[in-house]
Chain A
């Protein structure tokens, strides 16, 4: 399904969407999403969809509402207008318990990993399991925690406190913590920000590895073009609160639009 072109009269999209080759089942549908903070309108009518198993990368300058957009998907922010449908469920029609049931199927990796600093790494991973997998045996939980830590290559850090971890290690543990509930959708909020080139590459590879291993649909917010190149099936560029351009990395890289090309000249 191709999203409808924006009708915003102030900013016209410069780039036509690349024709879609496969019409996979959409798991996230956003229509006419608007969000303001006071006088400042951050999102001005976003339309997009994400298909099952796809990794959508959202690019845009700072303050264009990228993080706000994904926070709207998990109801950390309430949109002013528009419709969000996830797994066929319209978020506006769901109550708190139903939203929580949906949240269990969605993982969210925060920019600073947001690890619970009073808990060890193992406890950070055990915490969501304790809350949501009450019937799971202790042995199964322990095995799952070890599997997730093994996925991110940090089994040895199980007894460490988050304050002892580096930025890259925190991100990995944050990823392991979100994956422990086996989400079907992952939302990455600037997963490589603040990391050195090598560690950023490792995180990008980890995102691709997890996507393949667990067939996760994901949305990645990033400024990091090597990360976008490594992980994106499709890229969306946000500008002034609307979808300005859309396509594959290669398609957008060839764009004649200077603003779009400014992202790719790194």
Chain B
């Protein structure tokens, strides 16, 4: 019984600690001066460095969405609905979620490992004793970068996935790009796009804050760096799915 109780105690302790870590972000982010240089550098790392991977993945995703349902849709004579089906599924759900999961693996793990390594090699302590607030310099900048960049990457992923879908459709059915996009947009409403974009800000925020939390609180020792990177991906992905579920519920109510 005691080990089970201890496990619950540890879980609630960590949840509380993570909440305090997140709340500290809101306290620090409103206080200038800002580390603009570091924010731009992190935006470059999160945004530009992830572009190719997200572009390729979303292109494949869009193409697969066009190819796989075609036989079934053709049986019902509903091939013309494929662009709309792709646009709704990509923009509402698949684009933002796939982007967030890729960012979690690529960016969250990097942040966990980087900050974990800095903790282990006393670089964070060195900042602290130099009277530099390491939370502001390391955590705030990275979390701002992910919060701003993940939505942009998700929009890019949506566009590339639609283009992938268009090219895949052209394997069997000749259609122009203009016609495809008109058909795709015809099935979309403002309510499809707005919550999808809003939730990507939350995805970006949790990816950044969880990655930083895991690294910032790494225990001493090189093993903890790997643990921080790994748990940043696991916890970040889980948080993305939980936010997605909440967003789906809220959208459903609207």
Contacts and interface: CB of A to CB of B under 8 A. Distances in A.
B221 to A, nearest CB: 14
B173 interface: no
A120 to B, nearest CB: 14
Contact of B132 (A76, A108, A110, A127): A127
Most A CB contacts (10 A, CB to CB) among B122, B125, B129 go to B129
Contacts of A199: none
Contact of A110 (B114, B118, B122, B133): B122
A193 to B, nearest CB: 13
B123 A117 contact: yes
A117 B121 contact: yes
A10 interface: no
Contacts of A195: none
B122 A112 contact: yes
Contacts of B126: 108, 110, 114-116
A128 B125 contact: no
Contacts of B132: 127-128, 131
A101 B121 contact: no
A229 B36 CA distance: 47
B131 A114 contact: no
B123 A100 contact: no
Contacts of B129: 74, 76, 103, 106, 108
Interface string B125-146: 1101111110000000000000
Most B CB contacts (10 A, CB to CB) among A106, A108, A111 go to A108
Contacts, number: 49
A91 interface: no
B122 A100 contact: no
A104 interface: yes
Interface in A85-134: 100-101, 103-104, 106, 108, 110-112, 114-118, 127-128, 131-132
Interface residues of B, number: 14
A181 interface: yes
Contacts of A106: 129
A104 B114 CA distance: 26
Contact of B131 (A76, A100, A112, A116): A100
A127 B130 CA distance: 10
Interface string B104-119: 0000000000100110
A134 B28 CA distance: 20
Contacts of A116: 118, 123, 126
Nearest to B125: A76
Interface in A152-202: 178, 181
A148 to B, nearest CB: 14
A113 B161 CA distance: 48
B130 A103 contact: yes
A102 to B, nearest CB: 8
B131 A131 contact: yes
B130 A131 contact: yes
A180 to B, nearest CB: 10
Nearest to B33: A134
Contacts of A111: 122
B130 A128 contact: yes
Nearest to A101: B131
A131 B122 CA distance: 19
19 contacts: A100-B131, A100-B133, A103-B128, A103-B129, A103-B131, A104-B130, A106-B129, A108-B130, A111-B122, A114-B123, A114-B126, A115-B123, A116-B118, A117-B117, A117-B121, A118-B114, A127-B130, A127-B132, A128-B132
Given A114-B122, A114-B123, A132-B130, 11 more contacts: A76-B128, A100-B133, A101-B131, A103-B130, A104-B130, A108-B130, A110-B122, A117-B123, A127-B130, A128-B132, A181-B130
Interface of A: 74, 76, 100-101, 103-104, 106, 108, 110-112, 114-118, 127-128, 131-132, 178, 181
List 5 tightest A-B contacts by C-beta distance, closest first: A100-B131, A114-B126, A103-B131, A114-B122, A108-B129
